[in-house]
Structure 1
Amino acid sequence: MKNKFRGALVGAAVGDSMGMCVEEIPFDEVILHYGDKITNISEPHPASPASFLKAGETSSEFELVKIVAESLALKGMLDIKDIIERYIQWEEKEELHNYVDPYFLLAVDALKNGRELERAGTSIEGALPAIPLGMFHYTNPVLAVEGAKAVVMLTHRNEIVIDAASVIAVAVGELLQGKFYLEEEYPYFIKLLKTFVQKEETKFYLDRVETLLEKDASYEDAINELGNGSYALEALSQALFIFLKTPDNTENVMIHAVNSYGNYGGDTDSIALLAGTFAGAYNSEESIPAHWKTKLKNYVEIVKLADKLYKVAQH
């Protein structure tokens, strides 16, 4: 089980680190710059929003996951006050978030100054802090969803983002437990996820994922059908489709998630972060290729954090 916890966090970090290289870069530009699709941790494309980062670093998407994971690991419980303080400290270090979802920064600024939070945007970034909540409450999906909602609502009071966070939290917990043989049982897995969402639109996206899997649709078809933007339901359903298409093959999942830019570019770091989390949680850390892990800047620290989170999740 400890290796599955490591797999979830390392998978998230590797997916983010590779995906940020080609975020919002269309297919032809990727091929022109890299010569082929991305299959390794690389320097970000000069036109990527992450162009200021180095190969093997992670973007603000993974940093938000890490902030919540560190709080849970240190406190051994969900401490909303501690998470708020960590968010504010992070927001004040401007160099760490050159291209984070602006709603996130506005929300943290509101928290800092005691202002009421307005109904925020629909970006998948707002839902990503659900990952460590799914890990912390991996045996109890109801608590995982409650915790995820509490954290997500600090920055995103939006029903779509809250639904996406609920799906992520439940999925991570179920994958860590290995309750489903997903090659054959993905319809039951998707059915379970649907029981934790409120909006018909979220159920509609999950149904589309299942339909695409049933007809063995191509990755290109899934991009056209589901979308691949930062809208929470697009990025989440795209990541789920890519993972569930070859759930036992972490390397394949991550390469297809990283290269989910399509003809016009996409939110490849969020999609690959999520798909990497799912595949790492399901297949354990050893399923992630070693040549990726060795190029990840904070690999040792991420493994230590996963181990701490595993330890506190046992109580």
Structure 2
Amino acid sequence: MSNDPGAVPSPESRIHGCLLGGALGDSLGYAVEFDKIDEIRRRFGAAGLRDFSMLDGGTHFSDDTQMTLYTVDGIVEALEWANSGVGADANACVWLAYLRWLDTQGVPVPESAPRPQPRWIDGQEVLRHRRAPGNACLSGLATGEMGTVFRQVNPDSKGCGTVMRSAPFGLVPHIPADAVYKLSADAASLTHGHPSARQSAGVFSLLIHSLVQGGSLAEAAQAALDRVLADDEAAPELRDRLEAAVRLAGEAGAASVLSPEELVRELGEGWVAEEALAVGLYAVLATAPQADGGAADPVDHFREAIAVAINHSGDSDSTGSIAGNILGAYYGTACLPTDWLEALEAPEVIRGMAGQLVAVTSG
């Protein structure tokens, strides 16, 4: 994998970058997830938390990274079957992966639920820690029923637990955008029934897909927004938040990125799906190098975007994870700060899952 900032990232670099980048944003954000902005400033100064070195005891990644890696595992299993010439229901594979994740959280399922065979990921002890998992993710899976858009579980829930785990669908090459959206939205329906939860996940995966196909950040954001605007059934709140994120980022300059208070007022705290997507996307776009300012260092962009994504009163690990996924998919591993990677919990597990996805999607 090339770390040359000027090189076009390889598919392998984008996959590793997306998963590691998401874990970095998740990990830094997890340290302040439940803190109000005043408390973040009290702990870390006026600029907030900006580096792993500011955390005396280090940090961990959260359920966001855990579930993202289990999403990868479900996709990998489906592709392993496909590569062997056997058709498999991709969403069923993802559901079985999530049931195995649920077991790592110590939550039982009814006897009627399937008992999936263990896989490599299940033996990774770091993934068995309980890191503030979302209630809807737990309760939706604990029913033992495979939720669909027609047989809904948690029909009123639109928590961000769908978005934060959905980047991997956009990393699978050689499938059309509509299929990416459907795979992601269907997987969201396994735990959340609200339209915005499903659609936000689908749109996020589309955005990642656009970047992997070589689109710019602005092009990918516009494609995601166009998909929502063209959908007569799109949740109004998703349309409003995405439009606001793109518009406000377009207004941002070097000194005019929204303050944490303005960010929350305009886009929300990120606890629900459309808000988390909007905040993560805004953080990436608003800190992107300006067209007339020349190319910025991808590492600097990553640091600045994550700082915007996590320093607010809200769901900082999910918004940080989303921003990290986006930038890793765009730049590949070239944007990941070396010192941050050295501080990251269990990077070998994340790289292991990234390597499995590379193996089944290459060749």
Q: Common fold, TM-score beyond 0.5?
A: yes
The structure 1 residue matched to 2:33, chosen from 8, 20, 23, is: 23
1:102 corresponding residue in structure 2: 135
Post-superposition offset of 1:228: 1.9
Specify the alignment match of 2:292 in structure 1. none
RMSD between aligned alpha carbons? 2.7
For residues 53-79 of structure 1, give each alpha carbon's deviation from its aligned partner in whole angstroms, at most 9, with x where no partner exists. x73421111111110102222441663
Secondary structure of the 1:128 match is helix
What is the CA distance between 1:274 and its match in structure 2? Answer: 0.1
State the shift of 1:303 in Å: 2.1
Higher helix share: 1
Structure 2: which amino acid aligns with 1:178? G
In the TM superposition, 1:124-135 aligns within 5 A as 124-135=160-171
1:9 equivalent in alignment to 2:30: no
Matched, 1:85 2:96: yes
1:300 maps to which residue?
348
Q: Distance in 1 between matches of 2:278 and 2:174?
A: 21
- Asked if 1:167 corresponds to 2:229, the answer is no
In the alignment, does 2:308 pair up with 1:256? yes
Counterpart in the other structure of 2:124 = none
1:194 aligns with 2:228: yes
Shift of 1:156: 0.8
Q: 1:40 aligns with which of 42, 51, 56?
A: 51
Match of 2:258 in 1: 219
Q: Aligned pair in 2 of structure 1 residues 33, 129: CA closer, same or farther (>3 Å)?
A: closer
Within-5 A mapping of 1:236-251: 236-247=277-288, 249-251=301-303
Structure 1: segments with no counterpart, 5+ residues: 46-53
Displacement of 1:127 after TM fit?
Answer: 2.6
- Partners in 1 of 2:195 and 2:314 — Cα distance? 23
Percent identity (aligned)? 21
Q: Give the C-alpha shift of residue 145 in structure 1.
A: 0.8
Deviation string for 1:122-156 (max 9, x for gaps)? 11112333211111257521111111122111111
- Classify 1:181/1:57 alpha carbon distance in 2 versus 1 (closer, same or farther; 3 Å): closer
Tell me how far 1:255 sits from its aligned partner: 1.9
Do 2:217 and 2:285's aligned partners in 1 also have CA atoms closer than 8 Å? no
| CA positional deviation for 1:190 | 4.7
Q: What is the alpha-carbon distance in structure 2 between the residues aligned to residue 196 and residue 43 of structure 1?
A: 44
2:158 match: secondary structure? coil
Task: For 2:61, give the aligned amino acid.
Answer: T
SS of alignment partner, residue 171 of structure 2: helix
Greater Rg, structure 1 or structure 2? Answer: 2
Deviation at 1:44, TM superposition (A): 7.2
Unaligned runs of 5+ in 2: 1-9, 83-88, 107-127, 290-300
Residues 188, 201 of structure 2: 8 Å contact kept: yes
2:102 and 2:156 map into 1 onto residues whose CA distance is: 17
**How far off its partner does 1:311 sit?**
3.2
Q: After superposition, give the CA deviation of every residue in 1:216-236 in whole Å (9 maximum; x if it has no partner).
A: 252223332111230111111
